Amino acid sequence: MNEINNWLVQLDQASHEWLSELGDDVNEAELIWQAFPDGHSIGAVLTHIAEVEAYWLHHIACGEPYQDMEGDVLNGEIDQYGIKWPPPPPHPLSFYKALLATTRDKTKTLIGALENPNHTALRGEREFTLSWLMTHVIVHEAYHGGQAVLLLLEQRKRT
């Protein structure tokens, strides 16, 4: 297995771990629930995971046009540092899983077509290695995937 395929396998393994912990029985109310006003919701977190993967790997690494999933799905932008997460409209879990799967399929196509594991990409004037981009997305997803699981546990504990 080459280095690029290894990164893609790691990304899939990270996704599988938290998605299996999240389960398949999350309902729409649980997906839009926020622990506090403007706080995280599972639906917003899942949308954010997909957008960040698309931004760094499709747009920055491969030059694809930017896709504003947060704006399209959430009808608003996330300000993660200001802790302003718009509540998502009600959708079933299958909607978010399809968003993640479509994003991942495109990632595998685009990144899998790269032949050089030393590939670099520019964001403004800053250069990023493919290794940094893949590691960033893997760690980002693991962080937020765990956050989605914790949000579900917290909500179920309160009800």
The three-class DSSP label of residue 156 is helix
pLDDT digits (tens, 9 = 90+) for 112-130: 999 999 999 999 999 999 9
Residue 80: pLDDT band with limits 50, 70, 90? confident
pLDDT, the chain, mean: 95
CA nearest 49: which of 113, 101, 119, 108?
Answer: 101
Q: Are 42 and 26 spatial neighbours (Cβ–Cβ below 8 Å)?
A: yes
CA–CA dist 72, 89 (Å, integer) = 11
Q: List C-alpha distances in Å: 110 to 60, 89, 126.
A: 11, 30, 21
Contacts of 69 (CB under 8 A, 6+ apart): 47, 50, 51, 54, 99, 103
CA nearest 110: which of 52, 51, 64, 55?
Answer: 64
> So what's the pLDDT on residue 1?
61
> So what's the pLDDT on residue 121?
96
pLDDT digits (tens, 9 = 90+) for 81-104: 999 999 999 999 999 999 999 999
Alpha helix segments (H runs only) across 23-92: 28-32, 42-53, 69-74
Instruction: Please count the other Cβ atoms lying within 10 Å of the Cβ belonging to residue 88.
Output: 24
pLDDT digits (tens, 9 = 90+) for 48-78: 999 999 999 999 999 999 999 999 999 888 9
Q: List C-alpha distances in Å: 61 to 65, 83, 111, 116, 131.
A: 11, 27, 8, 12, 10
CA–CA dist 31, 33 (Å, integer) = 6
pLDDT digits (tens, 9 = 90+) for 19-33: 999 999 999 999 999
Q: Are 47 and 74 spatial neighbours (Cβ–Cβ below 8 Å)?
A: yes
> So what's the pLDDT on residue 125?
95
